[in-house]
Amino acid sequence: MSLFKKNKQPVQPNLEKLLSEFNRSLTLIVDKQLLISNIVAKVKQICPVESIYIFLLDENTGKYKQQNEARNKPIVFTNRSRLISWLSVNEKHLTISRHPDIVSYFPQEEQEALRQLGTELVFPLKVMNQINGTIFIGRKTDGTDFTTPELNLLSILINQATFAIEHASLYEIQTERLKKMYRTDRLATLGELAAGAAHEIRNPLTAIRSTIQYLSKDFSADPAKSEMMTELISEVERINKIVQGLLSFARPSDLNTSEINIEQLANQTLLLVNNTLRKQNVEVEFEFFTDNTTIQGDAEQLKQVFLNIILNAVEAMGQNNPDLSRTLIISIEKGAPVTPHSRYPLISFEDTDKGIEDKDIENVFNSFFTTKEEGTGLGLAICYGIIQRHEGEIEVKSTSGKGTCINIKLPQRI
């Protein structure tokens, strides 16, 4: 009996200490990715397992997307998945090997996803009667079954993690809203300054151009001087292009709204850059996850946005290592309803460039910010303004060394 106590007694304080440390970390971490890494580490500390995958609900699309250890071919569950429905109704974890009857109820693609993930346990992350995410846990590394105490402890830990992830998500949303408010105010101020500067530059620039064109006739016999005059005119044209960009940014034209089809608009834009895509060996993949791509908007201005984003992606991928793939994925997703009569379809442009550095990602929509040698830094700022006038949203996500994704949400009546 005394031997049993000696072996049994030390275990409990370790578990209490582990949960205590985990609780403390939950209150300190607001970065979602850091929090997810912490959760994965704690689960493995409780019982070493082969794999852990965390999926969180994207409110914009109604899809559960993988947050850690991204796979070559992403696995996605939707809020209509039978697995998600089962978790929502039963409000408990599912042990795959013990319930083949339940697993057989899932469609083949969901069963295949469970196999690819090497799943043994599926835990729901449920907040306010909604499944906000799922945790897929693989088999134990020693090949044994999960014990009841281990399952109970995992349930406690994951319940705590659920609210921590929800808190981190809300913090992320609030931070993004504040950034957008700050960016909107800053762009409005810069717009006023840009309008004045553009007006003051354009008048003397016209005089300079006229003078150079007049004087160039006197140097037509001298090839060297003639070439210099041609370069001067080229530089004047470049300045004029910058001024035109300033005016577009500062005094945007009114929206000429009509019923437009986003799918057709994207295809029309791709036709405009077809030669450029071929020259740069860029492959385009077009994906649709909705049948209704019709919205109210200004076709010409939205085409300008699409064109700018696509050309930026092509140029960025053109700087890639030749061995890397050059793929541009354009996708249109339905988006989750915002009101009973409206939703925000999501248009994504995802490329395989070298990515944007973390220190630059917050500045991409700032006017005059550019990483290009000859860029004006106005392209994405103008795009931001156009999407705002459509009462939509635009954001950039990037992973260094992997690529960049620009997401656009535009309002749609349903």
Please provide the DSSP assignment of 260-307 as one string. EEHHHHHHHHHHHTHHHHHHTT-EEEEEEE-S--EEEE-HHHHHHHHH
In whole angstroms, give the CA distance from residue 215 to residue 301.
39
Residue that the structure tokens 């010409």 belong to? 300
- Kindly give, in sequence order, each residue whose CB lies less than 8 Å from that of residue 280, ignoring residues fewer than 6 positions away: 314, 317, 318, 326
Dihedral Cα 266, 269, 271, 272, nearest 10 deg: -170
Tell me what pLDDT residue 321 has. Answer: 54
Residue that the structure tokens 């960025």 belong to? 316
CB 82 within 8 A of CB 113: no
Helix, strand, or coil (residue 349): strand
DSSP letter assigned to residue 50:
S
Instruction: Please report how many Cα atoms fall inside a 13 Å half-sphere around the Cα of residue 195, on the Cβ side.
Output: 8
DSSP letter assigned to residue 409:
E
Partners of 135 in the β-ladder:
54, 123
Question: What is the DSSP annotation of 145-168?
Answer: PPPHHHHHHHHHHHHHHHHHHHHH
346-351: strand order across its sheet: 283-289, 327-333, 346-351, 403-409, 393-399
Helix (H) / strand (E) element for 4: namely helix 2-8
Q: For residue 101, with 0-12 CB atoms within 10 Å meaning exposed, 13-18 middle and 19 or more buried, which class applies?
A: exposed
Phi, psi of 75 (to 5 degrees): -100, 135
Phi, psi of 347 (to 5 degrees): -110, 120
In whole angstroms, give the CA distance from residue 215 to residue 211.
6
Tell me what pLDDT residue 166 has. Answer: 85
Q: Angle, nearest 10°, between helix axes 148-215 and 11-28? A: 30
Residue that the structure tokens 């040698």 belong to? 373
- What does each of the 414 residues of the chain score in pLDDT, given as a tens digit? 444 444 444 344 466 666 667 776 666 777 888 888 888 888 888 889 999 999 998 877 778 888 876 555 678 888 789 999 999 999 899 999 999 999 999 999 999 999 999 999 999 998 888 899 999 999 999 999 999 988 988 998 888 888 888 888 888 778 777 777 776 676 666 666 666 677 677 778 888 888 888 888 787 778 888 888 888 888 888 787 777 766 666 666 778 899 999 999 999 999 989 888 888 888 898 887 777 889 999 999 999 899 999 998 888 887 655 556 788 989 888 876 777 777 888 899 999 888 888 778 878 887 767 766 666 667 888 888 889 889 898 988 887 777 899 999 999 987
* Radius of gyration (C-alpha) of the chain in whole angstroms: 28
Exposed e or buried b for every residue in 44-73, given b needs 16+ CB within 10 A?
A: eebbebebbbbbbbeebbbbbbbbeeeeee
- Kindly give, in sequence order, each residue whose CB lies less than 8 Å from that of residue 179, ignoring residues fewer than 6 positions away: 362
Partners of 57 in the β-ladder:
64
Extract the tokens encoding 397: 């996500």
